[in-house]
Structure 1
Amino acid sequence: MAVTRTALVTGANRGIGFEIVRQLARLGVLAVIGARDPKDGVAAAEKLQSEGLDVPVVALDVDREESAAAAVAEVKRLYGRLDVLVNNAAVLIDAPGGFNASLFELTGETARRTFETNVLGPLRLIQAAAPLMREQGYGRIVNLSSIAGQLAEMGKGYPAYRISKTALNALTRIAAAELNGGNIKVNAMCPGWVRTDMGGANAERSVEQGADTAIWLATLSDDGPTGGFFRDRKPIAW
C-alpha cells in the first residue's frame, strides 16, 4: 500500500506558503498549514476546502522554540509521521527605505528579529523534524531562501534580510551534510520576486511560479539532489 506523505509548511496561511500547501494537496500529500494565528490558518484552510482540498491546521510560531517542537509533535500525534518540512515563513523588515535600506542604518533590533524568524525558525523546525525523518528513513526539507543571500552576487539593500538568507543557505548545507545517507534531502531554493505581501504588487512572478521549485524539491525521488540551491528547478551559485 502506498504511503500518504505528510508535509508541514510554515507561514502557510498566505502567499507562497499557501500556494505550496495547495499544490501539495493537489498531488495527494496531506499538507498541513502552519500558522502563527490559528484563526488565519483556519481561514486559509476554508479557502482550500472550497476547492475540494481537505487541509489541516496547526498553530506554529517559528519565533518560539516550544511552538516549533509542539507543532511537529502535533503532526506526529495526528498522522504518525512527517515526511516533508517546508520552511517558508520569513520577514523582510529592513528600514528605512525598504528594499533600499542601508547597512549603515541597520539596527540591532531589526537584525535580531530578522535572524530569529529567518534562521532560528528553520533551525528549530529542522531539529524537531529530523528525528522523525530518521526514524522513518525518509524526509524532504525545503528552505525558502533568496538570491539576495547569494555571496556570488551579493550587493547592497535590505542588509538584515540578505544576511539572514546567507545564513539560511549555510544551515541548508550543514543540515544536508549531517542528514546525508538516510534518504533525507535538504535543499534551499529561490522563488524569485513574487507578488505577495512581502514582494509587492509590482513583482514579476505569480505565487504559482514562486511555489514550483519548492514543490519539486518537496517531492524529490530517492536519487534526487541534497545540499543544493535551486531556482526554476536548476542549480544556482551560493
Structure 2
Amino acid sequence: MKRNRLFAVLIGTGLLAATATAEASIYSVMNQADVSGNVQGTTNQYGNTTGGLGVRGSLFSNGLFGTAKYRHQFGTAYQGDTSGDSNTFGLKIGYLFPASPILAVGPYLGYEYNRFSQNDAYLNSQSSQSLDNLGGGLYAAASLPFANVTGYLGYLGGVSETSHVTGFPPLRYNRSSNLLQMGVTAYYPLVANLNFFVGLHDDDFTQAGAPNLLRGTVGIGAAF
C-alpha cells in the first residue's frame, strides 16, 4: 500500500514537473528583444514591393504581457512615385491564460501608428498620410517540439487621420481606415539565449483604396 502511494506520488510529481517545464517553455520567447528584416508587398492593384527593417521588444510576467515594435520600409506602398517610405509603431498589452501544457491564449489591447510618405521628383511634390488605430484581439503562444510559435488576430478601429500635401495645410480627420491584422512567428533556438525566427503578417486597411500589406520577416532575437 505504501509502495503504491509512493509510486503515485512520484508519478504525480513527475507530471507536475513536466507540466511546469512545458508551461515555462511556452513563454520562453515572451521576454525578448529582436531585430528583423522584411519583404513587404501591397496586394492592391498597382501595389509596390519594398524591403524594411524592424525592432521589437516583449515582456511577460505572471500572465501579463506587452510588446512594442517599430518598423521602417524603404519605399512607397504604391507604384508611380519616385521615392518614399513608411514608418510603423505599435503596442500590444494583454493577458495569457494557459489552455494546455503547450498552449496559452488570451486577449490584448492594441494601438498602431502608420505614416506613409510619397515623393514625386518630376512634379517636385511630397505627400504623406498618417493613421492612428486602436482596438484589440486574440494572442496565442505555443511550445512545439521543434519551435516556439506566437500568433495574433486583431481588429483596430480608425481613430484619426492626417493628410499633408506640399503647399497646403495638413488636413485632419476624426476617423481613419480600420485595420484587420493577423500574423504568426516561429522561433528556432540557436545558441544560449539567441533565437532565429521567421514570420508572416497581413495588415488590411479596410477603407476603399487603402493598402493591404503582406509581409514576410526573418530575424534574430535575444531572450532575457
More strand by share: 2
TM-score by length of 2: 0.30
More helix by share: 1
TM-score by length of 1: 0.29
User: Which of these two proteins has the greater Rg computed from alpha carbons?
Assistant: 2
